[in-house]
Amino acid sequence: MQDIRGSDLPTPAALAYLGDAVHGLLVREMLVARGYAQAGRLHEAAAAYVTAQAQAVQAERILPLLTGSEADLYRRAYNSGHLNRPRHVAVADYRAATGWEAVLGALWYLGETDRARKLFSRATEEQSEPEEKAGASDGGEI
């Protein structure tokens, strides 16, 4: 695995921006693989994973699994000075989500997609989903 402390990496904020997109992609991929078929239900289920509060819980789950350089990046992103958080989100949750996204972004940027997927899987494995899945009986077929 490459060292994610390198000075040739983008800033923690840029990595968090990329990580936000990676996180959204991995959530969507996971939900489709679990059998969600209708766009409305996919969106509703995805919303349970992509909020700052949900990502803060996910971050808590993966923190013990991070390598030294991943944990360092997480801390730098968590402590970054300028955060444009929504008013309804707790500062600690937003910072934890930013740290988690930065780690995902760095791993993806460096081509460590297997590591990113493994951490994502561990972060979301115990998270509850909305009860209903789209199935053949609800018109979810293509």
Q: Give catalytic residues, as residue numbers.
A: 20
Query: Three-state DSSP class for 39?
Result: helix
Quickly list DSSP for 59-75: HHHHGGG--HHHHHHHH
CA 100 to CA 108: how far, in whole Å?
12
Q: How many angstroms separate the CA atoms of 1 and 7, rounded?
A: 16
The distance of Cα 56 from the centroid of its chain, to the nearest Å, equals 9
Does residue 15 contact residue 9 with C-beta atoms inside 8 Å? yes
